[in-house]
Amino acid sequence: MATVGLRRVVVAGGTGLVGRPLVKALTERGTQVIVLSRNPERLELPSGATAQRWERLANLLDGTDAVINLAGEGIADRRWSAARKAAIRDSRFDATSKLVAAMRACAHPPKALVNASAIGYYIPKGEIPVDESAAPGAGFLAEVCQAWEAEAMAASALGIRVSIVRIGVVLAREGGALPKMALPVRWFVGCKLGSGSQGLSWIHLDDLLAMLIEAAQNPAWQGVFNGTAPQPLSNEAFTALIANRLHRPLLPVPGFLTTAATQLLLGEMAEALLLQGVFVLPAHAQSLGFQFRFPTAQGALEDLL
């Protein structure tokens, strides 16, 4: 199917690591972008983008080509308490629920909904890779992803094309995981975390932006997509690539020590985000011909570090 032009797109979560450059990329294409915000007067946006409050959503969404929903509290921003976990869960479900409810009230609903999810959906299977057909896991992140995705998929009953993008570790020059991972390596105290064998499924920010835009504009993009590069690595192999790029050694620290230290610092979040991992493949996107600019971690790190 041929892609369609994006004249008008609504972005929820347009001020974060992914949202801000996504808005810029869309406006550079000539797309009119509306960014949903609780405090629109505080946002500095590129020409071609405006900020609107979440009120009167149906009016904002009516006749829109696509909605891209990235809204939600940061998963790794701080240690998980009961209140923090509730904020992570509720911010995602509530934002998606409001968007779908507003779509029901539209005279002319958006043509497409592109909704973020996360690879926390999957069960860790050691070194066995998984694609979009894999079963969901258990635990907090998997449960959040399942509820989040189910709410977004409700829009399909309205005749709206829905694309779910399960995003991996986003690599960017500023913000996100990479600067945090590179910092101890720069200071000569880099090492693998835990066993180091856990999967690290990553994606270069530029490739993720391209994937989100393609999902918004291409009628063939429907269903679930893994927002990851085609060559996931183990934590140990990825850390070694960072060290090689920065010309630093890695310390041979026993895995049980880094496991204990990480669990002490981060609690439950350590196990879910750092000490476990899945090797996730973007099979669906590749089956539709999506081309990655940065298919390898080495190429991505050469660009970003």
Question: Quick check: 204 and 238 in contact, CB under 8 A?
Answer: no
Domain tally for the chain?
1
pTM (2 decimals)? 0.95
d(CA 41, CA 137): 40
Q: Is 1 among the domain residues?
A: no
d(CA 190, CA 184): 5
Burial-class residue 284 by CB neighbours within 10 Å (0-12, 13-18, 19+): buried
Burial-class residue 200 by CB neighbours within 10 Å (0-12, 13-18, 19+): buried
Q: Is 2 among the domain residues?
A: no
- CATH number of the domain within which 153 lies: 3.40.50.720
Amino acid identity of residue 176, one-letter, is: G
Q: Is 294 among the domain residues?
A: yes
Specify the pLDDT at position 1.
43
Q: Is 296 among the domain residues?
A: yes
Q: Is 57 among the domain residues?
A: yes
**Dihedral sign, Cα of residue 126, residue 201, residue 269, residue 83:** negative
Question: Quick check: 137 and 124 in contact, CB under 8 A?
Answer: yes
Q: Is 43 among the domain residues?
A: yes
Note down pLDDT in tens along the chain; length 305 residues. 455 689 999 999 999 999 999 999 999 999 999 999 988 888 889 999 999 999 889 999 999 999 999 999 999 888 999 999 999 999 999 999 999 999 999 999 999 999 999 999 998 888 999 999 999 998 999 999 999 999 999 999 999 999 999 999 999 999 999 999 999 999 999 999 999 999 999 999 999 999 999 999 999 999 999 999 999 999 999 999 999 999 999 999 999 899 999 888 888 888 888 989 999 999 999 999 999 999 999 999 999 99
Specify the pLDDT at position 3.
56
Distances (CA, A) of 199 to 123, 126, 166, 272: 11, 8, 15, 12
Q: Is 144 among the domain residues?
A: yes
Structural domain that includes position 181: 8-304
SS3 assignment, position 170? strand
Q: Is 38 among the domain residues?
A: yes
Specify the pLDDT at position 176.
93
